[in-house]
Structure 1
Amino acid sequence: MRKRKQKGTPDAQDAAAMEGEQALADGGAPLLVHLQALRRVLIVSAAAVAIAFFLVYSFAIDYLMAWITGPIAARGIEIIYTAMSEALVTKFKVALIAGLVIAAPVIIWQVWGFIKPALYPKEKKTFRTLFVIALLLFLLGVAFCYLAVYTLAVDFFLVAGDNLAKPMLSIDKYVSFLFGFIVPFGVAFQLPVALYLTTRMGLTNAKMLASKRKFVILGIFVLAAVLTPPDVVSQLALGLPMILLYEIGILACRLTKPKERE
């Protein structure tokens, strides 16, 4: 008399294992493809930064350092280094930052190629537009700071310490101060984009932003007083553009409809 196969016998277990492996393969394939695509993005981006870093350090680092130290050198201030490796490390730092800027188009293109398949056509258009605007605003903020506000800040700090001691600036601390001063301006100039996104998500609207205008203006000038030297010119140099950007953000919000929730 033949025995019936029971659940849990080797044949049944093998079949279940094969089904599980097939399901895992079917579900894991997309993840593996995404990981491979992400790996390619990271490798290509890192290679682009490395090549740009090498080219900058080999051929343009002296010109970059002269441009960076220009506001100080023009005022007759001596720049020194206080550690054996400080000058070299600072050059590496500047070359790396410049390399990131130069390689940015390659990095952006790689990232865009990675996320584009997950977006709808309308979302792709909106993303491209917002990205271009955000990039231009960041560059505008950095350029505005370096050409206008930064020189005022340098003059203020030098005058403030004139009667105390002779200024001898460390190259590493000076470069860190420079980038720490101008990059926040680029970030602050993203205000219209931030207002647009909050309106798009339904968190704010143009009427609400307009009703809070006087409080925002007060906050902007308080922030300007903290970030800039305590003179009217420096505070206006930061405060007025921020107010203008806020008004541009309100205008963008008036033209924006909140995204409908599914």
Structure 2
Amino acid sequence: MSKKNSKELRKGDNQTELEETEQQMPDGGGAPLLVHLQALRRVLIVSAAAVAVAFFLVFYLAIETLMAWIIGPIAERGIEIIYTAMSEALVTKFKVAIIAALILASPVIIWQIWSFIKPALFPKEKKAFRILFLIALFLFLLGVVFCYMAVYMLAVDFFLVAGDNLATPMLSIDKYVSFLFGFIVPFGLAFQLPVALYLTTRIGWTNYKMLASKRKFVVLGIFVIAAILTPPDVVSQLALGLPMILLYEIGIQACRLTKPRERE
């Protein structure tokens, strides 16, 4: 066989391999930048529109009910809620309405984000992403509910009792709402720890033996993070730190069953 024919044969083999690779690529893998920018623009517009509609619905139809639910635990304890600036009550309502609108519009936002990244994923990655997302969402909601039902009111009672002999509590509505969301959101984020450990193990950055051997350093780090994320008191830090330690142990056991992704 001549050198010319040999080169043509190799060229044909390379072309065949290239075509097979392109067929295996996710849909849209070769889409130009302009197409991606247009898709991203659509995601942002639809998501913003969903949040805007949800905001107006919440603010005009449900804001008073939401505010009563938020203030309820404090009102039941005979604590008076006040505002110290002319616009404070209205601004606080806007803040609550925006947060509620984001929650209400989250299915649309999540669907838009999923539609944007889905073409870049392989079938196995799509399935794994869906499962991991559902687990992360469940853990976030679990953290928020756990905080509000089991920890938040204990912390409120602790603060009220601690200051009972010093002064009469008169809570500002803005500061109280900020305290509430600043207390429960870190719990939702902290409950993502098992997911984070799984991902780092899957990528190959960590493994079961390493995570198990670093327990004492992790416990110290957890309480440092808890001190940063929560109000500056021991009760709040313990309330966030202890569940995080438990979640770390759960994450270690999940990593024990996880194999790092093979490098291609």
Q: Compute the TM-score of the two structures, normalised by the length of structure 2.
A: 0.82
Say if 1:196 and 1:256, in contact at 8 Å, map to a contact too.
Answer: yes
4+ runs of 1 displaced by more than 6 Å? none
- Aligned positions, number: 233
Q: Distance in 2 between matches of 1:128 and 1:213?
A: 30
Give secondary structure in 1 for the equivalent of 2:32. Answer: helix
Question: Can you give the 5+ residue segments of structure 1 that lack an aligned partner in the other structure?
Answer: 1-27
2:99 equivalent among 71, 76, 97: 97
Amino acid at match of 1:212: K
Matched, 1:185 2:206: no
Deviation at 1:62, TM superposition (A): 0.9
Percent identity of paired positions between Structure 1 and Structure 2: 84
> Displacement, 1:208?
1.3
CA deviations on 1:150-203 (whole Å, 9 max, x unpaired) are: 111111111222122111111111111111111001111000001001101111
Structure 2 residue aligned with 1:253: 255
Q: How many Å separate the matches in 1 of 2:86 and 2:95? A: 16
**Residues 81 and 224 of structure 1: is their aligned pair in 2 closer, same or farther, counting only changes over 3 Å?**
same
Please show how residues 98-247 of structure 1 align to structure 2 within 5 Å: 98-220=100-222, 227=230, 229-230=233-234, 237-247=239-249
Secondary structure in 2 matching 1:187? helix
Alpha-carbon spacing, 1:82–1:235, altered in 2? closer, same or farther (3 Å): closer
Shift of 1:239: 4.1
Q: Distance in 2 between matches of 1:225 and 1:116?
A: 38
- Structure 1 length as normaliser, TM-score? 0.82
The one-letter amino acid of 1:48's match is A
Which has the higher Rg, Structure 1 or Structure 2?
1
SS across alignment from 1:75: coil
* 1:30 corresponds to: 32
Give the SS at the match of 2:35: helix
Structure 2: gaps (5+ residues): 1-29
Query: What is the RMSD of the two structures over their aligned residues, measured on CA atoms?
Result: 2.1
